[in-house]
Amino acid sequence: MKFTSFTQYLSLCLIGLTISCTSVKTTAQNKKPKNVILMIADGTGLSQISSSQFYNSQPSNYDRFKHIGLIKTSSASDLITDSAAGATAFSAGVKTYNGAIGVNTDTIAVPTILEDLEKRNFATGVIATSTITHATPASFYAHQKYRKMELEIAQELVTSGVDFFAGGGRKFFENREDGNNLVAALEGSGYEMYLDRLDPSLKMKASKKYGFLLADSGMPKVLEGRGSFLYDATKLGIKRLSKNKEGFFLMVEGSQVDWGGHNNDGEYLVSELIDFDTVIGQVLDYAAKDGNTLVVVTADHETGGFTLASDEGDYNKINPSFSTGGHSATMVPVFAYGPGAAEFMGIYENTAIYSKIKALIKE
């Protein structure tokens, strides 16, 4: 992954850092969104986003946004957040301790935006390339004092009311140590369950809920044959949720950008980020056509201290490098499109993602 053209480096850099360059169709900012799609590329900072421009064979879909902000990511317990506290800030609007799933610093459950919208008859969905019980997706429908309690988190999904979910984590739902078959329980709660494949042409019924558990643990890497899962799951999720007349809320996570950062594996990281970038394109195309959908793209934190460094001092070549195997405290960007997108400009705390969305879709 090395670039030999300084002109290419410079031109792509300018594309990525100039907010007013390529953009999608402008939407009136005084309009309230009917639908919200929150996209989280776990562990993604500016260098990760820049990599999607340098290494992608297609123009980066991040370049299509006009409204861009920055969020501060520290949790209540630590200067450097983990995904659980970061996602709970997004889902419930509270700063909490690292490891917390939908609870405050006193381990008391706090209502999530997904739960609030379900009470207003919105359709809801969560999609991830990790287990569906992992920190980020779990923080939108579950309430547990520690993120590793995935057996308990899985139990909460059964009664969550989520209309569509897709990801890995089958082992937390069947062949459990407690003998409970949560796949059967989900089916008993009105879900059509799929455990082996996801067909993007599946005919969806507004009266049905759908669940896809396609791996025992996390989904495979893109580099190991995951294919178009995230793209197809998002397409199918929008197809199902958009049947609801009241509106919908969908959270889509590119979970494994973070894992590539933890592994200090540039190829892994970049391939996952480009996969996520492709899904951004699909979502923006839908939102532009629909006209009533707010799209917010961000990250819970940066992972790896990822840098697009020079290759042994050669400024015509890029050699991705890392400064840590963990997370960093750097601010991460927020990109928004659709009704209310201008509200996401500026610098603010990560909890404001929740409050801004909530204010825009307030009754």
The single residue of 47, 52, 83, 139 carrying the catalytic annotation is 83
β partners of residue 67 = 336
> Where in the chain does DSSP place strands (E)?
35-41, 67-72, 123-131, 164-168, 191-194, 209-213, 248-254, 293-298, 302-303, 307-311, 314-321, 327-328, 332-337, 346-349
Q: Which two tokens stand for residue 349?
A: 């705390």
Is 83 in the active site? yes
Provide CB contacts within 8 A for 307, sequence distance 6+. 47, 320, 321, 322, 323
CA distance 97 to 337: 30
Degrees (nearest 5) of the Cα angle 253, 259, 261?
Answer: 110
Q: 58-93 burial, b if ≥16 CB within 10 A, otherwise e?
A: eebbbbbbbbbbbbbbbbbbeebbbbbbbbbbbbbb
Cite the active site residues: 83
